[in-house]
Amino acid sequence: MSLTTRVLIALVAGLGLGLLVSSSGNPTLVNVARWIEPLGTLFINAIRMTVIPLVVGSLVAGIAAAPNPAMLGRIGMRALGLFLITLFAAAIFAALVAPPILGQLTIDPAAQEALRASATEAAGTTAESVRRIPGFAQWLIDLVPSNPVKAAADGAMLPLIVFTLAFGLAVAGLRGETRSAVVRVFEAIRDAAMTLVRWILWTAPVGVFALALAIVVRLGVSAIGALAGYIALASAMTFVFGVLVLYPLASWLGGISMVEFARAALPAQAVAISSRSSLAALPAMIESARDRLKLPDEITSFFLPLAASVYRVGTAIGQTVGVVFLAELYGVTLSPAQLASVVLTVVLTSFSVPGIPGGTIIIMAPVLMDAGLPVEGIGILLGADTIPDMFRTTANVTGHMTVAVAIGSRGGAERE
């Protein structure tokens, strides 16, 4: 039985049992549910402890191990520019659209207060961090940490990411064996963290069951409606962004019709939606780029594998919607400054999302911490992530093909 199936079963079991306990009003059963809840907290803490080595290792290794920028030339610069433009566009789109829609969710205020109190206990200083959101000037100053080790210890992920990006560029400037040795170290850190994540995910059904049971005991039937609303919105927004932004962008920059692009992308999209893995769809992407779209070799041999590893436009939508949903669920109002910070953190962390099903949710801890939200919300989203993840992965693959067409067609035109 696959992990996805086991997690879904655990989610349904937790929701169903939670509804029974909530409707019964039996204090003994409620206490039993509270005794089970720490298992979910342990699961979230286990995921959380992998975040820093995974993010730091992935970013430094990815930046430092890249080929010499002079070899990439204009194609590399266009790719990076399109990556950032589409990622910011996706995150901003989600930040603007999701809050008013999710604001229509009906959750009992007393249940919200109980959930928020529990989250404060589990996440330590979450409530205090919400009350002490810094102003823009201080936020800007804090982007550059005076002590990156302290930033990591304090969970200040955005400053840590800024330091990591700068450090990765510095490593890329090294020469010869020194650079190779440093890259190997960070690649080993990244790979070890990924192995640890896989071990932790093996226990995901237990953690998801405990978290789902606890939240439904507190919120009752309203939790089921809230989760359904989140699933529908996250899936719909990802689909709409692909149709309204990525397809026209491919047609405009690539000089092909949207119908032609859609036919070329369809085989890879079919693999993506069924496997929930961009890397699994890579062979289909390469074949379509080479045989259907006639893109140059550097696109099929270098760019597409790189894009499948680091570029995930669906993540920018999924994480932003997830943050807004959890803020609504916990009764926390996100200010415009917080939403802007979430958008920036989402874009930066999207480059280090693990290439596994549900990787977007696993790497959400820095985003939640940056927004002052309880990290155990990851377990709630992970349990309901199968359908949104299918749409996110399809959007990721569509994004890969979009940028490949955009830079490949122009590169071909220049060679002619």
Query: What's residue 266's pLDDT?
Result: 87
Residue 131 has pLDDT above 90, yes or no: no
Least confident stretch, 172-186, 264-278, 385-399: 264-278
Query: What's residue 70's pLDDT?
Result: 53
Q: What does the alpha-carbon distance between residue 266 and residue 187 come to, in Å, rounded to a whole number?
A: 33
Q: Write down how long the chain is.
A: 416
Q: What does the alpha-carbon distance between residue 181 and residue 191 come to, in Å, rounded to a whole number?
A: 15
Query: What's residue 359's pLDDT?
Result: 65
Buried b / exposed e over 83-117, threshold 16 CB at 10 Å, is beebbebbbbbbbebbbebbeebebeeebbeebbe
Confidence band (pLDDT; 50, 70, 90) for 239? Answer: very high
Q: What does the alpha-carbon distance between residue 170 and residue 118 come to, in Å, rounded to a whole number?
A: 43
Confidence band (pLDDT; 50, 70, 90) for 332? Answer: confident
Query: What's residue 89's pLDDT?
Result: 95
What are the pLDDT digits (tens) for 228-237?
Answer: 788 889 999 9
Query: What's residue 259's pLDDT?
Result: 92
Percent of the chain beyond pLDDT 70? 77
Tell which wins on pLDDT, 214 or 261: 261
Residue 50 has pLDDT above 70, yes or no: yes
Residue 240 one-letter amino acid? V
Q: What does the alpha-carbon distance between residue 96 and residue 90 come to, in Å, rounded to a whole number?
A: 10
Confidence band (pLDDT; 50, 70, 90) for 196? Answer: confident
Q: Domain segments of the chain: what residues?
A: 3-415
Residue 257 one-letter amino acid? S
Compute the mean pLDDT over every residue in the chain, rounded to the nearest whole number: 78
Q: Name the residue among 204, 234, 225 with its Cα closest to residue 388.
A: 234
Least confident stretch, 82-91, 109-118, 120-129, 178-187: 120-129
What are the pLDDT digits (tens) for 297-312?
Answer: 777 766 776 777 678 8
Report the run of H or E that residue 385 belongs to, with start and end: none
Q: What does the alpha-carbon distance between residue 29 and residue 6 come to, in Å, rounded to a whole number?
A: 24
H helices, E strands: number in the chain: 22, 0
CB 345 within 8 A of CB 366: yes
Residue 238 has pLDDT above 90, yes or no: yes
Most confident region among 134-148, 193-207, 313-327 by mean pLDDT? 313-327
Residue 227 has pLDDT above 70, yes or no: yes
Reported CATH class of domain 3-415 = mainly alpha
Query: What's residue 18's pLDDT?
Result: 84
pLDDT (mean) for 132-154: 71
CB 182 within 8 A of CB 57: no
Q: Give CA 365 to chain center in angstroms.
A: 9
Query: What's residue 355's pLDDT?
Result: 56
Residue 118 has pLDDT above 70, yes or no: no
